[in-house]
Amino acid sequence: MTHVTIVGAGLVGCLLSIYLAQAGHKVTIFDQMPDPRQVAPKSNRSISITIAVRGFRALDKVGIGDAVRQISIPIYGRMIHASSGQQTFQPYSPKNEANYAMRRQDLHLILLNFAQQHSNIHLAFNNKCVGLDLATATAKFEDRQTDQIREVQSEVLFGADGAFSSVRLTMQKEKRFNYSQHFIDIAYREIVLPKPIMADLELDPNAFHIWPRENMMMYGFGDYHGDFTLSLVLPYEGANSHETINTFEALHRLLETHFTDIFTSTKPHLGNYFAKPVEPMVTIRCYPWVSGERIALIGDACHAVLPFYGQGANAGFEDCYLLGQCLEQFAGEWSTALQTFQAARKPDTDALADLCHEHAMVLMKSVDDPQFQLRKKIEQALQMLYPERTYLYHNVSFTCLPYTEAVQREESHRRLINRILQIENIESHLDTPEFQRIVNPFLATS
């Protein structure tokens, strides 16, 4: 039995503790925040979250997947709301596959309660990591209720404390540690619409709703409770930005002008809009993830990504699954297991970071473009005819294919779509038997 310390009792920290406990290790999780089961959380994290195949593979492995499914709703595709008021549904998959939406807090509470059912997991809230000796894996924790400091020496220590990790901050002081953070110049504030509003607006509860408007957008989806969470995404500065939309009058004018179809229903629920923080969106990359033989980073602490692909939590959960495989393979050899995990996982999380940035631009600028919509129709038609040919969004969201391999496959796919788009009036053939005859020669050479 190894005594393991985890800094951070968020989604990934909790799931990691369960993996380690079920492998027979003794785990203590420290978190600087109060127990969210006892005190309403003041987190500025997104209210809503989606879990896909990767995440559920990790959750199912430890026996918690079905409990999570029970507090989620399936999301089968995007509903694009154009400025004209026209709505266009873009299914994620011709096989009716879905991502699953839920409240982040609901997911967190399930993980916390499941973790606490394990006798070899101890949760220590209100304990802030204020120091770490990398050579001895000795961490200092300040009890935020008593101000007392205690030292904890660990056989193995994980930093699962998010994008602004205190564990990583200490590791950054080591020689040859590479680190970068990149904030995009847009940010969001959330608006929560209560249960009856979705019905009033006739919003499909099983769709991801997007209002793309060039340099800004609104997006949102419902949850198991019937509420609907919207995120208003604006630039930091300039016209129609968080800087200039700083009064209710300006906010109402913006929504009435650019998001007319939902303005009337949204207006009564904007009372605390300016009390909420403007949420920045950051990409974190670093290397190495491992210090010495027994300290490692996991989840957002080493690879935070933009939220637009809905893969942040999924990637963190997949970390736990893949690390668990490494620990099984190298039983008792923590250093080898951590190094193997790091070497295999780092290229994939870098690929995911690039995908998330690209997808942000797609959602803001492309989803309501006729050419983009035609590409998606062609993709869906091909997948119906040739189910073995899967494409980028499908491979990322509905398979556990490594992110790097999903990107490599997409390169040839894009070339194929570009060639098919050159065919005159191709859209008129998509739902006809002739489509297969037309594209077969292209498939033979792709």
Question: Which spans in 228-311 are helix H?
Answer: 248-258, 260-266, 300-303
Q: Is 220 helix (H, G, I), strand (E, B) or coil?
A: strand
Give the separation between CA 232 and CA 278, rounded to whole angstroms.
Answer: 10
Task: Give the mean model confidence (pLDDT) for residues 109-119.
Answer: 98
Quote the mean pLDDT of the chain. 91
The reported pLDDT for the residue numbered 43 is 53
The reported pLDDT for the residue numbered 387 is 74
Give the separation between CA 33 and CA 131, rounded to whole angstroms.
Answer: 17
pLDDT tier at 446 (50, 70, 90 boundaries)? low
User: What percent of the chain has a predicted confidence (pLDDT) above 90?
Assistant: 67
The reported pLDDT for the residue numbered 322 is 98
Give the separation between CA 51 and CA 107, rounded to whole angstroms.
Answer: 10
pLDDT tier at 367 (50, 70, 90 boundaries)? low
Per the model's pLDDT, the better-predicted residue between 132 and 92 turns out to be 132
Question: Of 263, 275, 274, which is closest to residue 193 (Cα–Cα)?
Answer: 263
Give the separation between CA 26 and CA 337, rounded to whole angstroms.
Answer: 18
Region of poorest pLDDT, from 93-107, 129-143, 418-432: 418-432
Give the separation between CA 217 and CA 192, rounded to whole angstroms.
Answer: 16
pLDDT digits (tens, 9 = 90+) for 312-321: 999 999 999 9
Spell out the residues 6+ positions from residue 170 whose beta carbon is closer than 8 angstroms to its own.
131, 132, 134
The reported pLDDT for the residue numbered 185 is 92
pLDDT at 413 over 90: no
Task: Give the mean model confidence (pLDDT) for residues 327-355.
Answer: 96
Helix axes 11-22, 104-116, angle to 10 degrees: 30
pLDDT at 188 over 90: yes
- Going from the N-terminus, what domains does the chain have, and what CATH number goes with each? 3-182+281-359 (3.50.50.60), 185-275 (no CATH), 369-444 (no CATH)
pLDDT tier at 375 (50, 70, 90 boundaries)? confident
CB of 352 closer than 8 Å to CB of 311: yes
pLDDT digits (tens, 9 = 90+) for 243-297: 999 999 999 999 999 999 999 889 999 998 998 889 999 999 999 999 999 999 9
Give the separation between CA 107 and CA 174, rounded to whole angstroms.
Answer: 35
Say what the pTM is: 0.91
Reported as type and span, the H/E element at residue 217 is strand 216-222
pLDDT at 349 over 80: yes
CB of 188 closer than 8 Å to CB of 202: no
pLDDT at 41 over 70: no
pLDDT digits (tens, 9 = 90+) for 146-179: 999 999 999 999 999 999 999 999 999 999 999 9
The reported pLDDT for the residue numbered 42 is 62
pLDDT digits (tens, 9 = 90+) for 196-249: 777 777 889 999 999 998 889 999 998 988 889 999 999 999 999 999 999 999
The reported pLDDT for the residue numbered 368 is 67
The reported pLDDT for the residue numbered 195 is 82
Residue 281 burial by CB count (10 A; 0-12/13-18/19+): exposed, middle or buried? buried
Give the separation between CA 313 and CA 333, rounded to whole angstroms.
Answer: 27
Task: Give the mean model confidence (pLDDT) for residues 95-119.
Answer: 96
DSSP secondary-structure letter at 238? S
pLDDT at 103 over 90: yes
